[in-house]
Chains A and B, each alone.
Chain A
Amino acid sequence: MYEGAVQDLIDELGRLPGVGPKSAQRIAFYLLAADPVDVRRLVTALTEVKDKVRFCTVCGNVSEEDMCRVCRDPRRDLSVICVVEEPKDVVAIEKTREFRGRYHVLGGAISPIDGVGPDDLRIRELMARLADGDVTELILATDPNLEGEATATYLARLVKPLGLRVTRLASGLPVGGDLEYADEVTLGRAFEGRRAIDI
């Protein structure tokens, strides 16, 4: 145990995801030795993230204004919505530069064990967006685990009466990887989702 402020800092850092007691201690002593200007910049960033950042009223992504950058962008395709679990998934897909539609962030996945049901996710907001008829395709990009699959199945059933094209991201082998290193579940999925080669 360290005295007062240092221990408080270590305890607070240790509560962050992915930071154990050892890492917390290392970060705390780094901050103690760091230039006060650097530390002040970090403090400002922390305060601003809580003060300024809001959630986009359309898609639920993090944003500094009422609407996020993607929803504000007039060049985006209004006929396609990609449904993801978390804002970080938006960033991951944006990096590909492949997707030109807009997003919908659910804020999690259905998981009865954690007490998360459809009403705890932004599903009602999604249905409202689909109601005005501009959207023709819904891409379900929830995580490829049990809870993500269950959420995708639930959404697919829910929007079926609307007659949209509903698609699910493919799962299978990572690009640039070796077949032999793929685990059996992934490889099995890749077999199920195999497709003919066009020549």
Chain B
Amino acid sequence: MYVRQLSVTDFRSYDEASLDLEPGVTALVGPNGQGKTNLVEALGYLATLGSHRVALDAPLVRAGAERAVVRSVVVRDGRDTAVEVEISPGRANRAKLGGSPVPRPREILGALRTVLFAPEDLALVKGDPSDRRRFLDELLVARYPRFAGVRSDYDRVLKQRNALLKSAAAARRQGGSALRTLDVWDQHLADAGAALLAGRHDLVEGLRPLLDKAYTAVSRGGGPVGVSYKSSLPDDVAETADRELLAAALAAGLAAVRDQELDRGITLVGPHRDDLVLTLGELPAKGYASHGESWSVALALRLAAYDLLRGDGGEPVLILDDVFAELDDSRRTQLAEVVAPAEQVLVTAAVAADVPEALTGARFDVEGGRVTRVR
């Protein structure tokens, strides 16, 4: 698939901007702070309903405006689909697919698929477990949009259960009744958690062979790269995608830590506490890999995600946001070679020299919020 048109209104620094795009490589070039990343961020938002830079929507709306609008025309198998989202912080976002409003914005998920490489990706290796969980869940939703619902169900049960644990801690001291419903929330948390875990386990299984291949392609040896899912559950269910087994294991796990949970007022078992462990050779990548190696692992993760999505049909749009400036020459050349054959690649760079020769194509200059095509 490729994006034929992208336009934004009141998004970040832009009051209005529109770009006509083509398959192949397109570079967005301009000095820092001129709005290159804002454009690819807008495209990423259409694909994931979230920004790769900020957790909340408020910074996405131009100062002084009430809402931002991102519109695109996506071409898939020769057919045009208009995808549009209106971002109103503090209120419900609205979305349109093919010109008609959809009841919930998450129904546009899957219409546009992107894989976005950005300097923030280094956090996939060096950052907190939450960064890696987010990577897994976003990829899961991109592959199977129904997981957007699974994920929000789990978040909601978790919130309710944590609220109960907090009030139960107080009630326990006074001998209250709040504890009686905890069993019910345990059951719902185990069911919702099992659905999410089953998806993540299946995903890690799919990523494993692609990750090592991708790492070899961008780094020239130093591997092998391993990936495993680390959960608080016993080993015999650690890799299974059987929801019933997982739900039973989660329920048992919750029962085992209940006293601790009541003391601390938070849920201590479940997919919200898990991590993705990346290894390089024999050692964990986090803490042991050099800066360059960490970059290679992060790139390999994104490339593996790209391969996985491509394997499902519907090749995703590749976005490389400011990554070439971060890489040394050999990694730069290798990454360029790997991504060049993709159906559509969007690259942002501060200076044109940062874009490797293998990625020569259309070029837009971005300066002061104005986008002009120069090639």
Contacts and interface: CB of A to CB of B under 8 A. Distances in A.
Interface of A: 110-113, 115, 117-119, 146-147, 149-150, 153-154, 157, 183-185, 188
Contacts of A188: 146
Contacts, number: 53
Given A118-B180, A146-B153, A184 B188 contact: no
Interface stretch (B10-18, B156-164, B269-277): B156-164
Task: State the main secondary structure of chain A at its contact with B.
Answer: helix
A33 B107 CA distance: 44
A184 B160 CA distance: 23
B157 A146 contact: yes
* 6 shortest interchain CB distances as A-B pairs: A112-B164, A112-B163, A184-B146, A113-B163, A154-B184, A153-B184
Nearest to B103: A183
Residue among A112, A146, A157 facing the most chain B CB atoms (10 A cut-off): A112
Nearest to B153: A146
B160 A150 contact: yes
A117 B163 CA distance: 11
B107 A183 contact: yes
B145 A184 contact: yes
A157 to B, nearest CB: 7
Nearest to A155: B184
Contacts of B184: 110, 150, 153-154, 157
A146 B167 contact: no
Nearest to A156: B184
Nearest to B145: A184
Interface of B: 103-104, 107, 145-146, 149, 153, 156-157, 159-161, 163-164, 167, 177-178, 180-181, 183-185, 187-188
B371 to A, nearest CB: 36
Name the residue in A110, A146, A147, A153 with the highest tally of chain B Cβ atoms < 10 Å from its Cβ.
A146
A1 B223 CA distance: 69
A113 B160 contact: yes
Nearest to A153: B184
Given A112-B164, A117-B181, A153 B146 contact: no
B181 A110 contact: yes
Nearest to A114: B163
